[in-house]
């Protein structure tokens, strides 16, 4: 095992917090940096906001001073309005930061309706970030890299002190050592941009790499995961292309994925309900990309 996927410290200054999305452990996580100002990487889902506030309170970290959003997909943003409201009620403020390319997407979150995951609250007064920006959190500095592909507004955040790189969903999802879900999610995925972002990440001086889905990747795997991400995109993409006429048959595509990529993964480890959502979303990402780029 070369990953930390347990709740708690991933390094001296950083805690992994499990969102328990869909009520399940090991699906989505946030990261809390406490080396100076309390900085939260991503915001999680609205239905888990109360749980996340309690987890932050246990760490004496609510409200955080700063929240940095890796990208504007709903599962990374929708607890933030609740955080802001709760902070205001106790006379505190939270600075929210995101890519300059995310600002309009956060102001109008209706595009997230493609996920059929409920209603979404808009987020305003977000501080825009761009390539090369440095955020001083009084004990560490965080450097911003633009890494589009999964979305047009994805950023990676390098903790320069600990050499830990937060990448959100830019590479895809690796919830355990046997599963790698590719990054072509709707509605803005772009394969050329994705591959360019992988090349950019290869040149960053980091030692560990932290995924939103799920955990902190260490040692040699922190480097090899980059090529693994590109391979996962192409392998899954080819399966969708080979079965293009049956993409509306979720059960069929799910079974093809299980047979092709998850033959050693039980339904207890990765349930059909979760995988059905993944199939539906990847199908939308695949169709959207084909329509936009051919």
Number of domains in the chain: 1
CA distance 161 to 142: 8
Is 268 a domain residue?
no
Is 286 a domain residue?
no
Is 271 a domain residue?
no
Is 171 a domain residue?
yes
Domain that holds residue 193: 3-235
Q: What is the pTM of this model?
A: 0.96
Which is it for strands 141-146 and 155-159: parallel, antiparallel or unpaired?
Answer: antiparallel
Please check whether residue 139 is in contact with residue 35, taking contact to mean a CB–CB distance below 8 angstroms.
yes
Q: Sign of the CA dihedral 10, 15, 19, 24?
A: positive
Residue 64's pLDDT is what? 98
Residue 1's pLDDT is what? 61
Is 74 a domain residue?
yes
Is 139 a domain residue?
yes
Q: List average pLDDT for each run of 10 residues in the chain, which is 294 residues long.
A: 91 97 93 95 95 97 98 97 97 97 96 89 97 95 98 98 98 95 96 98 98 97 97 97 96 97 92 94 96 85
Is 292 a domain residue?
no
Is 276 a domain residue?
no
CATH of the domain at 25: 3.60.15.10
Question: How distant is the alpha carbon of residue 141 from its chain centre?
Answer: 21
Alpha-carbon dihedral of residues 46, 52, 54, 59, nearest 10 degrees? Answer: -160
Q: Is residue 77 helix, strand or coil?
A: coil
CA distance 212 to 44: 10
């Amino acid at each position: 095992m070369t990953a930390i996927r347990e709740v708690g410290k991933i390094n001296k200054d950083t805690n992994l917090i499990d969102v328990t999305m869909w009520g399940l452990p090991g699906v989505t996580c946030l990261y809390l940096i406490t080396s100076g100002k309390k900085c939260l990487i991503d915001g999680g889902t609205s239905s888990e906001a109360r749980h996340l506030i309690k987890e932050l309170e246990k760490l004496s970290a609510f409200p955080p001073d700063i929240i940095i959003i890796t990208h504007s997909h709903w599962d990374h943003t929708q607890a933030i309005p609740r955080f802001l409201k709760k902070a205001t009620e106790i006379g505190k403020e939270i600075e929210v930061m995101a890519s300059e390319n995310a600002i309009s997407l956060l102001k109008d979150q209706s595009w997230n309706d493609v996920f059929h995951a409920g209603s979404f609250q808009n987020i305003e007064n977000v501080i825009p970030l761009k390539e090369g920006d440095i955020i001083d959190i009084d004990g560490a500095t965080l450097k911003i890299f633009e890494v589009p592909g999964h979305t047009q507004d994805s950023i990676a955040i390098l903790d320069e002190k600990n050499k830990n790189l937060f990448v959100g969903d830019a590479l895809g999802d690796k919830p355990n050592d046997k599963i790698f879900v590719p990054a072509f999610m709707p509605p803005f995925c772009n394969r050329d941009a994705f591959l360019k972002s992988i090349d950019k990440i290869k040149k960053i001086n980091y030692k560990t790499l932290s995924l939103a889905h799920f955990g902190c990747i260490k040692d040699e795997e922190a480097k090899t995961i980059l090529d693994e991400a590109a391979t996962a995109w192409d392998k899954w993409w080819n399966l969708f292309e080979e079965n293009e006429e049956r993409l509306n048959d979720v059960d069929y595509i799910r079974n093809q994925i299980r047979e092709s990529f998850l033959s050693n993964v039980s339904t207890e480890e990765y349930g059909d309900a979760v995988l059905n959502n993944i199939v539906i979303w990847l199908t939308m990402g695949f169709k959207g990309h084909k329509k936009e780029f051919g």
